[in-house]
Amino acid sequence: MSEAYKLPPLPDQEPVKPKPNLKKVFDTSGSEQFKPGNKNKRVIAFILDGVISTVISTIVAALLVKTIFTQPETQGIAAIVIQMAVNSFYWIGCPYYYEGTPGKKMMGLRIVGNDYNTELTFKQLVMRESVGRLLSMIFMLGYVWCAINKEGKTWHDMISKTRVVDYK
């Protein structure tokens, strides 16, 4: 009797299925259930994220600079460094831990790997938000590409081997 005995389900009751591991929700076999993120939703999410990250980083920088850095000469540089650190966590850390930024989550979007796997690597997200985003902003061509690409992928999606999908 090495196996634990399981009671059979009651006749009018469905067997209880185990909850899926959220880190394994997106697999290649289920890719047809996800469609590319709506382009309008992506634009709205980007604007929301810009506002949210700016407000948070400004408040954190203002609080830390006033309490830690008393010399006026160092406050400007300190504020910039603090804002960059907070924004880096927002744009890289949130997708790493929560599969998307708050703006994307509000719009029902998620960032997933090309194979629809949610376990994005830190390296993918750094590439997406640094090199990829920088290239996408050159004359806004990376974002124009999103408008004509049938999958709705920007250059930073392609460079980091990620995609944004509707999920709600």
User: Tokens 């831990």 — which residue?
Assistant: 97
Of 13-17, 50-54, 159-163, highest mean pLDDT = 50-54
Query: What pLDDT does residue 116 have?
Result: 82
Q: Give the pLDDT band of residue 59 (cuts 50, 70, 90).
A: very high
Average pLDDT for the chain: 83
Which pair of structure tokens corresponds to residue 157? 């999606």
Q: Is the pTM of this model over 0.85?
A: no
Q: Which two tokens stand for residue 101?
A: 């930024």
Residues in Cβ contact with 166 at an 8 Å cutoff, skipping those fewer than 6 apart: 34, 35, 36, 37, 38, 41, 108, 109
Residue 167 has pLDDT above 90, yes or no: no
User: Which element (helix H / strand E) includes 53?
Assistant: helix 39-68
The residue that leads in pLDDT, 28 or 114, is 114
Q: So what's the pLDDT on residue 7?
A: 59
156-to-20, 87, 113 alpha-carbon distances in Å: 30, 17, 12
pLDDT tens digit string along 76-133? 999 999 999 999 999 999 999 998 999 999 999 999 998 887 688 999 999 999 998 8
Of the two residues 1 and 41, the one the predictor is more confident about is 41
